[in-house]
A and B are shown apart, each in its own frame.
Chain A
Amino acid sequence: MNKKELGYDTINLGHGSGGLMTRELLDKIIFETFSNPYLDQKHDGSIIQIDGKMAISTDSFVVSPIFFKGGNIGDLAVNGTVNDVAMCGAQPEFLSLAFIVEEGLPIDDFVKIVETIKETADQSGVKIITGDTKVVERGKGDKIFINTTGFGKVHPKANISAKKINPGDKIIISGPIAQHGMAIMSQRDGLEFESSIESDTTNLNFLVGKLLDAFGDKIHLFRDPTRGGLASVLTEIAGDINLGINIIENQLPIDDQVAAACEMLGLDPLFVANEGIFVSIVDPTIESEMIELMQKDDKGQSAICIGEITKEHPNKVVMHSVIGGKRMVTPLLGEQLPRIC
């Protein structure tokens, strides 16, 4: 599909009117791309059969720029929600997909994003079964916003809950931190710098499924450290369990180029967003076996234990620094901003 077939160069208000132009946009782009038995009924919603425990998660995506190294907003819209469902210990099956488009978005950009969503959804094994498209006036949005909601069956062996975390539990991370945030930062207005840093956006549901098959309820928690980075997720967890968290600075996996970019911009990689890694808190008896299994998977090659749960300093996260000192890790306040010096 391209702009010639649709007869327009850009999305305009008519495409969100609910009339003929909307129908044409949906038929030629959305339904053609995502065709499946649920969607093909072209009804207001979809009817699905639910057996047993389901996990549901929703997320809105407003990233700017919408195209960045390693992906676009479409990858995030699928992977972000797929991963949130996976973090509940479930295998995502269905997605809803809603666009809010600012008039003037080139049709080619829209098509590219839709195609990415299709590709990413296929890779994750999820079907788009319902959706919505709205168009807002120029200046009332920022090119395109996407909301997705994911549904999936909870793994029969999963029992994911912060309540199950015990002192001595190990904290395992699946890959290098701060990739996504630094890829975005390197392309932001006023901050552009040359780098080959790519977003880590990817789906984690199959790796999570594999781990649950192998270790079941020995896995106590999964979390993906997206916005706010690793520090925010760990401090949230510590706040929820009446226990403390120790992490070891020199165990944290980070790519050299990402570390250098963080240094240059004065950002702490602990607070920088990720879109393709997860943290798991697990029974200490499965630590090495689990890391070994993760490292055999594309999505977990750099898996490593970064710390453990402790009875000391309840509700606090303490980082053991490279030089043997200790410091407290606090959640991100507001947006992380580049520093002067």
Chain B
Amino acid sequence: MKYLSEYRNLEATKQYLDLIHKTATKTWNIMEICGGQTHGLVKNGIINLLPENVRMIHGPGCPVCVTPLNLIDKAVELLENGVIVCSFGDMVRVPGSKKSLLEAKANGGDLRILYSPLEAVNIAKQNPNKEVVFFAVGFETTAPANALSVLHAKKEEVKNYSILVSHVLVPPAMEGILGDEFCTIDAFLGAGHVCAIMGMKEYYPLVEKYKIPIVVTGFEPLDLVQGIYLAIQQLEKGEYKLENQYSRVVREEGNLEALKVIQSVFEVGDREWRGIGTIPDSGYVLKPAFRDYDAETKFGISSIATPENSECIAGQILKGIKKPHECPQFGKACNPSNPLGAPMVSSEGACAAYYHFSNHLN
């Protein structure tokens, strides 16, 4: 496959791994922001090929993991009240306080697993007597398609469609992590796909304010080792700048069309992050002109509040303060069949990635 096989090349990956081994003289903690990167590192066994002094810390960039529990409860509530709920696949197994969407489906709820929110608008058109809600979770990457679905619904006067929004933004989360008193992170691998939409400009102020290298990085093995090498090069030289390893996909200005769509439908607002709490200006909310498409308002479910499981240390995992296997519940009370928190259930969650791919290697 073009643009994939080249980035899974053994020789090229080895060369960069050698360079990392030669270049890293001190201990460096590098956080990969995106869950897709965590998955790539663990699935390809890269973590075990890095020198001991290069420590990868897994960031909060798994949309499923940071979606607060009460949002899942809200989606379940809708499903149990006869609403057709459409969702991306990996949200449906995440446990709410009482049940997951999949369990609500087993009890008779009409749950549809989709790839595109535009498909949900079609479902709304085909079922004019039913309400249809798309569970719009994700980072900046899924925001354009979710926004577009609202624009389509408005244009085509589809009144039985709305979205349950839980959009979060990467830069405020990075700032939240850097501001934590226990933060030990020396450099970031920036989330490639988020930057493909948003561009690079939001990251320059972070680099300057916290004097920290950020390397926007892709997801294939060669991308990851190249990104790590570029970060280490900066750290060893005492530099801090924003670099773009993923230039085949990420442009400085981002995807202007997608940005236009996002900005026409969403505005920045406070968002709750699972395990972390509410971060000001850290997510998207629907603009007042689109409030009719806000499922929380439409169905009066915004008051549902659910406390997190106190045994789950997802917050510390998501901030990189602890590694999954350092959690006393890891692989015991908490496992993929019986997850205490979302990082164990999402395929991109750090806990699930550790459990599935590397627990025997530790």
Q: Are A and B part of the same complex? A: yes
> Which residues does A use to contact B, with CB under 8 Å?
189-191, 256, 259-260, 263, 265-266, 313, 316, 318, 320-328, 330, 333-334, 337-341
B47 surroundings in chain A (CB, below 8 A): 325
B36 surroundings in chain A (CB, below 8 A): 341
* A-B residue pairs in contact (CB < 8 Å), sample of 8: A323-B13, A325-B44, A325-B48, A327-B44, A328-B359, A333-B337, A339-B90, A340-B89
Choose among A256, A313, A330, A339 the residue with the greatest number of B CB atoms under 10 Å from its CB.
A339
Given A190-B113, A340-B138, A323:B221 Cβ within 8 A? yes
Partner of B88, one of A260, A320, A326, A340: A340
Partner of A327, one of B10, B34, B358: B358
Q: Are B357 and A328 in contact (CB under 8 A)?
A: yes
Chain B 5-47 interface residues, beta-carbon cutoff 8 Å to A: 8-10, 13-14, 34-36, 42-47
CA distance A339 to B42 in the complex (A): 17
Chain B: interface residue total (CB-CB under 8 A): 51
Partner of A326, one of B48, B64, B114, B119: B48
- Which 4 residue pairs spanning A and B have beta carbons closest together? A325-B45, A337-B89, A338-B89, A327-B357
A313 surroundings in chain B (CB, below 8 A): 360
Q: Are B1 and A259 in contact (CB under 8 A)?
A: yes
Q: Are B44 and A340 in contact (CB under 8 A)?
A: no
B138 surroundings in chain A (CB, below 8 A): 340-341
CA distance A333 to B339 in the complex (A): 12
Q: Are A341 and B193 in contact (CB under 8 A)?
A: yes
Contact mask for chain B residues 101-131; partner A; CB cutoff 8 A; 1 contact, 0 none: 0100000000011110001000000000000
Given A190-B112, A266-B347, A330-B355, A323:B4 Cβ within 8 A? no
Shortest A190–chain B CB gap in Å is: 5
Q: Are A340 and B361 in contact (CB under 8 A)?
A: no
CA distance A324 to B91 in the complex (A): 32
Shortest A105–chain B CB gap in Å is: 22
Task: Indicate whether B263 reaches chain A with its CB closer than 8 angstroms.
Answer: no
Partner of B348, one of A256, A322, A330, A339: A339
Choose among B36, B49, B115, B337 the residue with the greatest number of A CB atoms under 10 Å from its CB.
B115
Shortest A54–chain B CB gap in Å is: 36
Task: Indicate whether B60 reaches chain A with its CB closer than 8 angstroms.
Answer: no
Q: Are A326 and B45 in contact (CB under 8 A)?
A: yes
Shortest A124–chain B CB gap in Å is: 35
CA distance A326 to B360 in the complex (A): 10
Shortest B87–chain A CB gap in Å is: 9
Chain B 318-351 interface residues, beta-carbon cutoff 8 Å to A: 336-337, 347-348
B141 surroundings in chain A (CB, below 8 A): 341
> Which residues does B use to contact A, with CB under 8 Å?
1, 4, 8-10, 13-14, 34-36, 42-49, 63-64, 86, 88-93, 102, 112-115, 119, 137-138, 141-142, 193, 221-222, 336-337, 347-348, 355-361
A266 surroundings in chain B (CB, below 8 A): 89, 347
Q: Are B44 and A322 in contact (CB under 8 A)?
A: yes
Shortest B150–chain A CB gap in Å is: 18
Q: Are B356 and A328 in contact (CB under 8 A)?
A: yes
Given A338-B115, A340-B63, A327:B42 Cβ within 8 A? yes
Shortest A142–chain B CB gap in Å is: 15
Q: Are B114 and A190 in contact (CB under 8 A)?
A: yes
CA distance A263 to B91 in the complex (A): 19
CA distance A253 to B341 in the complex (A): 36
Choose among A322, A339, A340 the residue with the greatest number of B CB atoms under 10 Å from its CB.
A340
Excluding A190-B113, A190-B115, A191-B113, 7 further A-B contacts by CB distance (< 8 Å) are: A263-B1, A313-B360, A321-B45, A323-B49, A323-B222, A337-B93, A339-B347
Partner of B46, one of A189, A259, A325, A337: A325
Shortest B122–chain A CB gap in Å is: 9
CA distance A325 to B42 in the complex (A): 9
B86 surroundings in chain A (CB, below 8 A): 190
A334 surroundings in chain B (CB, below 8 A): 93, 102
Q: Are A338 and B357 in contact (CB under 8 A)?
A: no
B347 surroundings in chain A (CB, below 8 A): 266, 337, 339
CA distance A263 to B47 in the complex (A): 22
A326 surroundings in chain B (CB, below 8 A): 45, 48, 361
CA distance A316 to B36 in the complex (A): 25
Given A263-B4, A339-B347, A325:B10 Cβ within 8 A? no
B8 surroundings in chain A (CB, below 8 A): 322-323
Shortest B257–chain A CB gap in Å is: 20
A338 surroundings in chain B (CB, below 8 A): 88-90, 113, 115
Q: Are A321 and B348 in contact (CB under 8 A)?
A: no
CA distance A216 to B360 in the complex (A): 35
B45 surroundings in chain A (CB, below 8 A): 320-321, 323-327
Q: Are B44 and A328 in contact (CB under 8 A)?
A: no
